[in-house]
């Protein structure tokens, strides 16, 4: 009976270890792919809690969160430092579970962001997920010595150090470049107008509700029965009521307003909504994305000027989209003298399209052909022929590209770990114990440490 019980406990422990490990690795990985997206989500949380003064620390928090989740998940999955990993995992879940319960009830933000943009789940689904993870963390905390460890204590330090270095480096790489895997709706190959709509019959259905008042009593009416001919009823308000849930468009906020300068470019004389014009343009359109001209990195500004000049030479369109106020646009244009055609757009939209500030997007027929972070924007020497003759106009196969990139990341992460495991197995794990007493002493010491 005791043996059966031990086997069952072992199964539960290993199952808990795998669930925790895989969930944390996946969550940490998809957030590490896009650390700026995680930064913006943290800022949303700080704003909802009235802690806007901490926005400056959001990026550091994002790196700690992304790399921390990824590393902790790997530590748990391979049984590294079992005692301390179990304790940390339990503390994380003790903190996160009540927090996600509050988020589910109060809903200060609609999307928790626990899986970045890769997998959007509701706040209640997040809470239920954390209940399961909390239960698993309790199991591994109590029975941490039953977690299978793949390495001897001789190599714990090396494997752990490599995982931490890799986790932080991977976050920073994706910060300085565009995310290696783009989970956003604005990835190359996507058609923006198509993503602004949903198939007929699959959209949510809303009904207009009219509120009228008579003799101090308010009553709701529909479009079919509201008392528009009865003057004794006084109109109070109108609201939309959801009567059937459905799919929401992936893109709901794409809107661009062009700003027109006076000849001296000292003030803005007029504006025009050119959203439809941009999306319907059958030619090529370059969009420089700079959500904030004040915070924009100017080290590669000359490259954008080269692209602007190239667009003028070959008859393409070039716009600079920013969320900065008009007075800031005028001030920065006076400083830089770029002669860009400036447009205004929503800050959240611009941050979603490109994480780099600034970045560059190439459109044709409303389809995203390609996009670049500031330091990868094509240089002047490569802009020597029409786009049709350059590889810049080729829409990449993002599915195959993502597969190659995932395999590359897995290679660089796992090869040192697997190599260490083989060396560990050959040198230490195969070395026999000659003295049973010393064997017991070493095993006890090892368990206490890990």
> What pLDDT digit, counting tens, does each position of 175-234 carry?
998 899 999 999 999 999 999 988 776 767 777 888 888 888 888 888 777 776 777 888
287's enclosing H/E stretch is: strand 284-289
How far is Cα 96 from Cα 98, in angstroms, rounded to an integer?
A: 6
| Inter-residue contact 121 to 114 (CB < 8 Å) | yes
User: CA nearest 40: which of 134, 111, 95, 137?
Assistant: 111
Which DSSP helix (H) or strand (E) runs through 319? strand 317-322
pLDDT band at 48 (very low <50, low <70, confident <90, very high): confident
| pLDDT beyond 60 at 156 | yes
Of 46-50, 111-115, 301-305, 429-433, the range with the lowest mean pLDDT is 429-433
148 exposed, middle or buried (CB, 10 Å; 0-12, 13-18, 19+)? exposed
Quickly state the pLDDT bin for 447 (edges 50, 70, 90): low
| Element holding 447 (H helix, E strand) | helix 436-449
**Digit-coded pLDDT (tens) for 324-333:** 999 999 999 9
Within 13 Å, how many C-alpha atoms sit on residue 74's CB side? Answer: 21
Q: pLDDT tens-digit profile of 406-435?
A: 999 999 999 999 999 888 888 765 554 444
**Is the predicted pLDDT of residue 363 greater than 80, yes or no?**
yes
Placement of tokens 């001296």 in the chain: 264
Whether the per-residue pLDDT at 437 is higher than 70: the answer is no
Strand partners, 260: 270
Look at 365 and 151; give whichever has higher pLDDT: 365
Q: Summarize pLDDT for 94-152 with one digit per residue, the tens.
A: 999 999 999 889 888 777 778 888 888 888 999 999 999 999 999 999 999 999 888 87
Name the pLDDT band for 440 (thresholds 50, 70, 90): very low
User: How much is the pLDDT for 61?
Assistant: 94
The yes-or-no verdict on residue 438 having pLDDT over 90 is: no
**Is residue 18 within a helix (H) or strand (E), and if so which, with residue range?**
helix 2-32
What mean pLDDT comes out for the span 57-68? 94
pLDDT confidence of residue 190: 95
Place 60 in a pLDDT band, splitting at 50, 70 and 90: very high
In angstroms, the Cα distances linking 249 to 43, 204, 363 are: 24, 10, 20
Full-model pTM: 0.82
Q: Ramachandran region of residue 79, left (φ > 0), alpha (ψ -120 to 50) or beta?
A: left
Span 172-191, pLDDT tens digits: 999 998 899 999 999 999 99
Q: How far apart (Å, rounded) are the C-alpha atoms in residues 321 and 423?
A: 54
According to DSSP, the residues that pair with 206 across neighbouring strands are 242
Distance CA 165, CA 40 (A): 24
Mean pLDDT of 305-312: 95
Please, what is the Cα angle at 340 between 260 and 338, to 5 degrees?
125
Q: What is the 3-state secondary structure (H, E, C) of 205-253?
A: EEEEEEEEEECCEEEEECCCCCCCCCCCCEEEEEEEEEEECCCCCCCCC
Query: What is the rounded radius of gyration, in angstroms, for the C-alpha atoms of the chain?
Result: 28
What b/e sequence results for 246-273 when a residue is b if at least 16 CB atoms lie within 10 Å of its CB, and e otherwise? eeeeebeebebebbebeeeeeebeeeee
- What pLDDT was estimated at residue 300? 92
pLDDT band at residue 389 using 50, 70 and 90 as cut-offs: very high
**Ordered structural domains, the chain, with CATH:** 2-181+415-449 (no CATH), 206-244 (no CATH), 257-395 (3.40.30.10)
């Amino acid at each position: 009976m005791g043996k059966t019980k031990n086997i069952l406990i072992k199964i539960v422990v290993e199952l808990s270890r795998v669930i925790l490990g895989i969930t944390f690795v996946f969550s940490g990985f998809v957030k590490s792919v896009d650390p700026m997206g995680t930064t913006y989500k943290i800022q949303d949380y700080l704003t909802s809690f009235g802690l806007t003064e901490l926005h400056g620390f959001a990026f550091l928090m994002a790196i700690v969160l992304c790399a921390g989740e990824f590393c902790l998940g790997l530590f748990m999955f391979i049984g590294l430092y079992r005692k301390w990993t179990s304790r940390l995992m339990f503390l994380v879940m003790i903190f996160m579970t009540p927090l996600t319960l509050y988020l589910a009830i109060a809903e200060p933000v609609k999307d928790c962001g626990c899986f970045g943009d890769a997998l959007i789940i509701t706040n209640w689904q997040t809470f239920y997920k954390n209940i399961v993870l909390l239960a698993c963390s309790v199991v591994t905390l109590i029975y941490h010595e039953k977690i299978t460890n793949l390495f001897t204590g001789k190599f714990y330090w090396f494997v752990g150090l490599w995982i931490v270095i890799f986790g932080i480096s991977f976050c920073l790489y994706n910060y300085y470049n565009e995310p290696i895997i783009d989970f956003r709706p604005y990835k190359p190959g996507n058609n923006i107008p198509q993503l602004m709509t949903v198939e007929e019959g699959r959209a949510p259905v809303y009904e207009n509700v009219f509120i009228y008042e008579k003799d101090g009593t308010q009553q709701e009416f529909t479009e079919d029965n509201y008392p528009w001919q009865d003057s004794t009823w006084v109109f109070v308000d109108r609201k939309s009521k959801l009567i059937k849930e459905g799919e929401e468009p992936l893109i709901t906020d794409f809107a661009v307003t062009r700003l027109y300068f006076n000849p001296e470019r000292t003030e803005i004389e007029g504006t025009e909504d050119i959203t439809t014009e941009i999306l319907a343009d059958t030619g090529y359109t370059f969009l420089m994305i700079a959500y904030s001209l004040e915070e924009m990195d100017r080290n590669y500004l000359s490259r954008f000027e080269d692209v602007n000049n190239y667009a003028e030479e070959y008859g393409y369109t070039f716009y600079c989209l920013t969320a900065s106020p008009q007075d800031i646009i005028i001030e920065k244009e006076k400083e830089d003298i770029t002669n860009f055609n400036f447009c205004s757009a929503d800050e959240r939209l611009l941050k979603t399209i490109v994480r780099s500030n600034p970045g560059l997007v190439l459109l044709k027929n409303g389809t995203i052909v390609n996009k670049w972070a500031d330091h990868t924007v094509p240089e002047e020497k490569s802009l020597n022929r029409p786009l049709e003759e350059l590889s810049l106009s080729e829409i990449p196969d993002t599915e195959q590209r993502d597969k190659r990139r995932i395999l590359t990341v897995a290679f660089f992460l796992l090869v040192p770990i697997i190599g260490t495991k083989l060396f560990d197995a050959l040198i230490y794990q195969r070395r026999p114990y000659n003295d049973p007493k010393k064997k017991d002493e070493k095993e006890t010491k090892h368990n206490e440490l890990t």
